[in-house]
């Protein structure tokens, strides 16, 4: 993460780090693995008090950032989430709050999201879909809109009070806010490798909502969805880097303490060189995560490409790094007892969510070709 | 000791107005970047190479006359006295435009950088403006036939004779020595102390009797790689850089500058311009190979772009971290390692995208033409400027603090150090 934080940002990050280490230490995460919910309501409300949910929302709507650079501030929290393998729908909460407040709709829901009283699901991805592929149908019927389709995976679907659903209306994309208890909405829990992750498939079967459920314009949500994807990817990148950093630190310590043939593992050149590679991947991941965050924060023209680059790199090398950490631990690295897997689990889910590295490489190639083509 | 190139230094012109001024001048005065004439390891006839060198001299002079040479070099040495951020802005604006590549590496970095750190006032005033005016191209006489990684194991000797030193020995793998002017040279001045304590650094003109430059053919046919034989070369003591027998202090800094290269505040180089042998971009090659719509080719184009963009972000992070004092200068090795690995991977990607035509091609094949040679020369990125293995040693031992390798030559007079068969 960033080397040049101001004192307020440092304090902000520190507060979350302390809270997470007290509230969800590794034992608590292990214990939680068979529970239906990944976190309790009180945990999330306290986190909201620390500022986890309000950064992307303007002050007039009850939000506010520490540094005036809200996206960057949010990545500090995400980084700590990764370092702690902490539970909680950080991405959904922030993406949905930003979307609603950005469109100026549903202020009462925004207030509930900010206070942590409610959790919302970002219902965007679809089964077997590419990045941003949307098939769910939204059609107008008199004063109402009717939704038909399936969203999957939706984070914290079982605990969500609301879903922000993206759908296709004729040629355009539309987003609507749907209460989780609306008739026709059903949630089926999914399995996942992350002990603190809870995802569901959400089916919308002739779900009817009033027209004022629309967030933004009917048929005009493409740019807003791209921005949401960018936010999700930036949060994810920071979180994965946090998990990488923790796994790497644990492994460095281990290599210095563990002796083999009368000398520390860390003294063998074959091992030292592996660590040097890991360190270069780690620093490169920090660098690209920060640069993607800065670009999204500034709404820079290249932000879309940068978030994909961050995903393509961190998704690939972050997981190589953590798997190498397992390798360098030897047998103990594959046990449930050891903590390392908690970070590997988080990063594994992050690698697959919001587009795989390969899908993002294809997106990057398109950016390159479009650019070089237009220059020619 | 090191010159202040901090981004926050109080300077006359802010970065954005400098950028605007630079952009206007670049667009109005410079042609497009031509990879085929840039410094590199291409197989071209000698006359062509010499013409390119002559052109670079004029181009460098033009940049100097316009007031854009040595942007982060102090004014008293002919530079502009601005900051690393100004240099970076210039490099960004220079993307796609021509540049006097032969005056950048190793002339400005590491040679000028080492002079700025350790040179006498007289040496700086004599040479740095001459480099900036396009008059002196510098080379590093560092590696020797007996082994380049073990820099402190240099065998080239310098023996004192009154106010002069007499140098004998051989240096090798010097790209471009046959058309260059001056050299920064490491030599042994004391054989009776452990190796690091008996070295000194000198500067000397390359074109003089006693310096015999041989071109070595590389595996792609290029002949820019050179070996130099030094026979009784006399160097005045005023051309010594740093203290006698304390050359290791200079070399440590020298290698730091070598690891920063394209990210150095002294180097003018178009941002994002690839520095590899096969210069066509992966997308160009895919277009020429007719596979632009092939998902596998797209995956590779995306991968190459990813490595490129991440590399740039990493270099900025490391440079920023070092300037802010958050990480040690040894961290430059992280950038060096990344550059090597990404460079070799990118050469492989280009070769793969070019497909079967990379095996046999004609000049009409565009981007495909050099993909085979690019692949052959792939490891350049991991060897030149110190190997990636040495970078890994530095990262693990100096950055992560892991135990050092056993060094049997550590506390032994250099005279008694065992040498391999070929020494
Ligand atoms: C394109 C290019 C340009 C160059 N330009 C210049 C120049 O201008 N001036 C100049 O002086 N030199 C130059 N060099 C030389 C370059 O610096 C050396 O080639 C490099 O430092 C390696 O030294 P070597 O070739 O003697 O290999 P060696 O030192 O003999 O190494 C051989 C192999 O052993 C490995 N190795 C060696 N020691 C260790 C160790 N302790 N631990 C683990 N592995 C080790 C190396 O990594 C390498 O793989 C250039 C080289 C190239 C490729």
- Render pLDDT for B380-402 as a digit per residue (tens, 0 to 9): 999 999 999 999 999 999 999 99
Indicate if the pLDDT at residue A122 is higher than 90.
yes
Contact check, Cβ <8 Å, B400/A291: no
By the 10 Å C-beta count (0-12 exposed, 13-18 middle, 19+ buried), A299 is classed as: exposed
Instruction: Report the residue from A275, A276, A358 with minimal CB separation from B299.
Output: A358
- Separation between Cα atoms, residue B408 and residue B403, nearest integer Å: 15
Angle at B170 between CA B169 and CA B176, to 5 degrees: 145
The model's confidence at residue B367, banded by pLDDT at 50, 70 and 90, is confident
Set of chain B residues whose Cβ sits within 8 Å of the Cβ of A233 = none
Indicate if the pLDDT at residue A375 is higher than 50.
no
Q: Which of B34, B94, B26 is nearest to B280 (CA)?
A: B34
Q: What is the percentage of chain B residues whose pLDDT exceeds 90?
A: 84
Set of chain B residues whose Cβ sits within 8 Å of the Cβ of A263 = 403
Provide the shortest C-alpha distance from residue B79 to chain A (in Å). Answer: 29
**What pLDDT, on the 0 to 100 scale, is given for residue A145?**
98
The model's confidence at residue A3, banded by pLDDT at 50, 70 and 90, is confident
CB neighbour list of residue A220: distance below 8 Å, 6 or more residues apart: A172, A173, A174
Set of chain B residues whose Cβ sits within 8 Å of the Cβ of A325 = none
For residue B147, give the ligand 1 atom closest to its CA.
Answer: 26
Set of chain B residues whose Cβ sits within 8 Å of the Cβ of A256 = 402
DSSP for B197-262, please give it: GSEEEEEEESSSTTEEEEEE--TTS---EEEEEEEEEEEEGGGEES-TTBHHHHHHHHHHHHHHGG
- Separation between Cα atoms, residue A113 and residue A119, nearest integer Å: 6
Indicate if the pLDDT at residue B5 is higher than 80.
no
Distance of CA B260 to the CA centre of its chain: 8
Contact check, Cβ <8 Å, B392/A273: yes
Q: What is the percentage of chain A residues whose pLDDT exceeds 70?
A: 99
Instruction: Report the residue from B295, B299, B395 with minimal CB separation from A279.
Output: B395
**What pLDDT, on the 0 to 100 scale, is given for residue B274?**
66
Contact predicate B170/B145, CB 8 Å: yes
**What pLDDT, on the 0 to 100 scale, is given for residue B278?**
62
Please compute the mean of the pLDDT values over residues A152-173 and round it to a whole number. Answer: 97
Contact predicate A239/A81, CB 8 Å: yes
**What pLDDT, on the 0 to 100 scale, is given for residue B343?**
95
C-alpha distances out from residue A335 to A84, A364, B211, B255, Å: 18, 37, 64, 43
- Separation between Cα atoms, residue B221 and residue A311, nearest integer Å: 40
Q: What is the percentage of chain B residues whose pLDDT exceeds 70?
A: 96
What percent of chain A is helix, strand and coil (3-state, nearest 5)?
A: 55, 15, 25
Q: What three-state secondary structure class fits A128?
A: coil
Q: What three-state secondary structure class fits B23?
A: helix
**What pLDDT, on the 0 to 100 scale, is given for residue B280?**
87
The model's confidence at residue B422, banded by pLDDT at 50, 70 and 90, is low
Q: What three-state secondary structure class fits A49?
A: helix
- Render pLDDT for B326-352 as a digit per residue (tens, 0 to 9): 999 999 999 999 999 999 999 999 999
Q: Which of A237, A86, A106 is nearest to A164 (CA)?
A: A106
Set of chain A residues whose Cβ sits within 8 Å of the Cβ of B306 = 309, 312-313, 361, 364
- Render pLDDT for A176-223 as a digit per residue (tens, 0 to 9): 999 999 999 999 999 999 999 999 999 999 999 999 999 999 999 999
Distance B313 CA to ligand 1 centre (A): 27
- Separation between Cα atoms, residue A101 and residue A224, nearest integer Å: 12
Closest-CA residue of chain A to B404: A267
Indicate if the pLDDT at residue A291 is higher than 70.
yes
Ligand 1 pocket test: pick from B109, B149, B174 the residue with the most ligand atoms within 8 Å of its Cβ: B149
**What pLDDT, on the 0 to 100 scale, is given for residue B317?**
95
Q: What residues does A164 pair with on adjacent strands?
A: A122, A177
Contact predicate B32/B98, CB 8 Å: yes
**Over chain B, what is the mean pLDDT?**
93
Please compute the mean of the pLDDT values over residues B221-237 and round it to a whole number. Answer: 96
Token couple for B157: 């000797």
Token couple for A26: 């590794």
Best residue in A10, A365, A372 to probe B by mutation, most B CBs within 10 Å?
A365
Give the lowest-confidence range in A82-96, A139-153, B9-23.
Answer: B9-23
For tokens 């854009």, what's the residue?
B68
Indicate if the pLDDT at residue B4 is higher than 90.
no
Contact predicate A320/A277, CB 8 Å: no
Indicate if the pLDDT at residue B3 is higher than 50.
no
The model's confidence at residue A93, banded by pLDDT at 50, 70 and 90, is very high
Q: What's B97's DSSP letter?
A: B
Instruction: Report the residue from B301, B302, B400 with minimal CB separation from A279.
Output: B400
Best residue in B285, B310, B381, B394 to probe A by mutation, most A CBs within 10 Å?
B310
**What pLDDT, on the 0 to 100 scale, is given for residue B273?**
75
- Render pLDDT for B32-87 as a digit per residue (tens, 0 to 9): 998 888 888 888 999 999 999 999 999 999 999 999 999 999 999 999 999 999 99
**What pLDDT, on the 0 to 100 scale, is given for residue B275?**
59
Please compute the mean of the pLDDT values over residues B297-304 and round it to a whole number. Answer: 98
The interface pTM score, or ipTM, of the predicted complex is 0.94
Helices (H) then strands (E): counts for chain A: 12, 10
Residues framing ligand 1 (Cβ under 6 A): B 106, 139-140, 142-143, 147-149, 173-175, 380, 383-384, 386-387, 389-390, 393
Contact predicate A123/A147, CB 8 Å: no
**What pLDDT, on the 0 to 100 scale, is given for residue B279?**
77
Q: What is the percentage of chain A residues whose pLDDT exceeds 90?
A: 93
Q: CB atoms < 10 A from the CB of A182, how many?
A: 15
Please compute the mean of the pLDDT values over residues B272-278 and round it to a whole number. Answer: 65
Element (H, E) at A285: helix A269-297
**What pLDDT, on the 0 to 100 scale, is given for residue A279?**
98
Assess B230–A contact: CB distance below 8 Å, yes or no.
Answer: no
Q: Which of A342, A333, A170 is nearest to A251 (CA)?
A: A333
Distance A136 CA to ligand 1 centre (A): 59
The model's confidence at residue B323, banded by pLDDT at 50, 70 and 90, is confident
Burial A131-168 (b: 16+ CB within 10 A, else e): bbebebebeeeeeebbbbbbbbbbbbbbbbebbbbbbb
Ligand 1 pocket test: pick from B173, B204, B228 the residue with the most ligand atoms within 8 Å of its Cβ: B173
Indicate if the pLDDT at residue B224 is higher than 50.
yes
Indicate if the pLDDT at residue B174 is higher than 90.
yes
Please compute the mean of the pLDDT values over residues B214-238 and round it to a whole number. Answer: 96
**What pLDDT, on the 0 to 100 scale, is given for residue B272?**
77
The model's confidence at residue A35, banded by pLDDT at 50, 70 and 90, is very high
Helices (H) then strands (E): counts for chain B: 12, 8
CB neighbour list of residue B208: distance below 8 Å, 6 or more residues apart: B233
For tokens 């976190």, what's the residue?
A39
Instruction: Report the residue from B314, B394, B403 with minimal CB separation from A264.
Output: B403
Q: CB atoms < 10 A from the CB of B227, how many?
A: 18
Q: What residues does A202 pair with on adjacent strands?
A: A151, A187
Name which residue sits closest to atom 52 of ligand 1, judged by CA: B384
Indicate if the pLDDT at residue A374 is higher than 60.
no
**What pLDDT, on the 0 to 100 scale, is given for residue A241?**
98
The A-side interface with B (CB below 8 A) comprises: 3-4, 252, 255-256, 263-264, 266-267, 269, 272-273, 275-277, 279-280, 283-284, 286-288, 290-291, 305-306, 308-309, 312-313, 358, 360-369, 372
**Over chain A, what is the mean pLDDT?**
96
Indicate if the pLDDT at residue A135 is higher than 80.
yes
**What pLDDT, on the 0 to 100 scale, is given for residue B11?**
60
Ligand 1 pocket test: pick from B387, B404, B419 the residue with the most ligand atoms within 8 Å of its Cβ: B387
Name which residue sits closest to atom 1 of ligand 1, judged by CA: B384
Token couple for B285: 């090659």
Q: What residues does B183 pair with on adjacent strands?
A: B139, B204
Indicate if the pLDDT at residue B95 is higher than 50.
yes
Contact predicate A175/A122, CB 8 Å: no
């Amino acid at each position: 993460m960033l080397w040049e934080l101001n004192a307020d940002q440092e304090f902000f990050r520190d507060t979350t780090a302390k809270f997470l280490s007290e509230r969800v230490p590794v034992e608590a995460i292990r214990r939680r693995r068979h529970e239906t919910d990944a976190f309790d309501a009180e945990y999330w409300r306290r986190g909201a008090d620390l500022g986890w949910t309000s950064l992307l929302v303007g002050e007039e709507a009850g939000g506010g950032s520490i540094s005036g650079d809200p996206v960057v501030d949010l990545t500090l929290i995400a980084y700590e989430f990764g370092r702690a393998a902490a539970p909680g729908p950080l991405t959904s909460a922030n993406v949905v709050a930003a979307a609603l407040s950005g469109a100026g709709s549903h202020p009462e829901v925004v207030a509930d999201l900010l206070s942590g009283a409610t959790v919302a699901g970002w219902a965007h991805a679809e089964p077997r879909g590419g990045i941003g592929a949307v098939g769910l149908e939204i059609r107008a019927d008199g004063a109402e809109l009717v939704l038909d389709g399936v969203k999957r995976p939706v984070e914290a679907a079982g605990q969500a009070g609301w879903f922000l659903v993206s759908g296709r209306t004729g040629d355009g994309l539309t987003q609507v806010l749907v209460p989780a208890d609306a008739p026709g909405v059903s949630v089926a829990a999914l399995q996942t490798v992350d002990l603190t992750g809870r995802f569901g498939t959400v089916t919308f079967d002739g779900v009817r909502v009033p027209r004022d459920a629309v967030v933004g314009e009917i048929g005009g949500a493409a740019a807003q969805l791209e921005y949401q994807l960018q936010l999700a990817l930036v949060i994810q990148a920071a979180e994965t880097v946090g998990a990488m950093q923790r796994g790497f630190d644990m492994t460095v310590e281990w290599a210095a303490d563990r002796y083999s043939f009368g000398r520390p593992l860390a003294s063998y050149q074959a091992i030292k060189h592996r660590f040097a590679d890991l360190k270069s991947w780690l620093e490169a991941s920090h660098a690209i995560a920060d640069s993607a965050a800065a670009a999204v924060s500034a709404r820079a023209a290249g932000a879309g490409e940068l978030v994909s680059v961050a995903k393509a790199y961190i998704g690939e090398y972050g997981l190589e790094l953590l798997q190498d950490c397992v390798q360098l631990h030897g047998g103990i690295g594959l046990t449930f007892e050891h903590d390392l897997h908690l970070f590997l689990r988080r990063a594994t889910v992050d690698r697959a969510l919001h587009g795989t590295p390969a899908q993002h490489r294809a997106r990057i190639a398109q950016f390159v070709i479009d650019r070089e083509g237009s220059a020619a | 000791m090191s010159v202040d190139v901090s981004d926050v230094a109080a300077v006359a012109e802010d970065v954005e107005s400098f950028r605007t001024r630079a952009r206007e001048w670049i667009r109005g005065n410079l042609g497009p970047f031509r990879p085929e004439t840039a410094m590199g390891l291409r197989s071209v006839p000698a006359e062509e190479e010499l013409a390119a060198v002559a052109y670079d001299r004029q181009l460098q002079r033009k940049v100097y006359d316009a007031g854009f040479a040595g942007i982060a070099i102090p004014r008293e040495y002919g530079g502009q006295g601005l900051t690393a951020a100004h240099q970076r802005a210039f490099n960004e604006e220079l993307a796609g435009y021509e540049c006097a590549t032969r005056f950048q590496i190793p002339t400005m970095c590491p040679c000028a950088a080492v002079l700025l750190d350790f040179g006498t006032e007289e040496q700086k005033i004599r040479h740095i403006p001459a480099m900036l005016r396009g008059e002196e191209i510098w080379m590093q006489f560092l590696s020797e036939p007996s082994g380049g990684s073990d820099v402190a194991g240099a065998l080239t000797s310098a023996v004192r004779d009154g106010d002069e030193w007499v140098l004998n020995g051989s240096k090798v793998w010097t790209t471009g020595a046959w058309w260059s002017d001056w050299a920064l040279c490491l030599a042994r001045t004391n054989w009776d102390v452990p190796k690091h304590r008996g070295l000194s650094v000198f500067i000397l003109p390359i074109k003089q009797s006693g310096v015999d430059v041989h071109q070595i053919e590389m595996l792609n046919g290029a002949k820019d790689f050179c070996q130099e034989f030094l026979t009784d070369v006399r160097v005045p003591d005023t051309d010594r850089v740093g203290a006698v027998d304390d050359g290791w202090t200079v070399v440590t800094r020298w290698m730091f500058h070598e690891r920063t290269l394209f990210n150095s505040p002294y180097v003018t180089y178009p941002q994002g311009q690839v520095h590899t042998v096969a210069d066509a971009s992966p997308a160009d090659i895919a277009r020429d190979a007719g596979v632009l719509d092939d998902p596998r080719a797209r995956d590779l184009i995306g991968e190459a772009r990813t490595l490129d963009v991440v590399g740039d972000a990493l270099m900025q992070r490391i440079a920023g971290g070092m300037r802010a004092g958050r990480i040690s200068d040894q961290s430059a090795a992280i950038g060096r390692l990344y550059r090597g690995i990404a460079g070799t991977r990118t050469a492989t990607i280009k070769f793969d995208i070019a497909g079967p035509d990379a095996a046999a091609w004609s000049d009409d094949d565009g981007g495909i033409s050099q993909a085979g040679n690019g692949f052959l020369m792939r490891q350049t990125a991991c060897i030149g400027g110190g190997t990636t293995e040495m970078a890994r040693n530095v990262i693990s031992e100096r950055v992560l603090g892991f135990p050092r390798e056993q060094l049997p030559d550590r506390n032994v007079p250099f005279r008694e150090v065992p040498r391999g068969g070929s020494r």
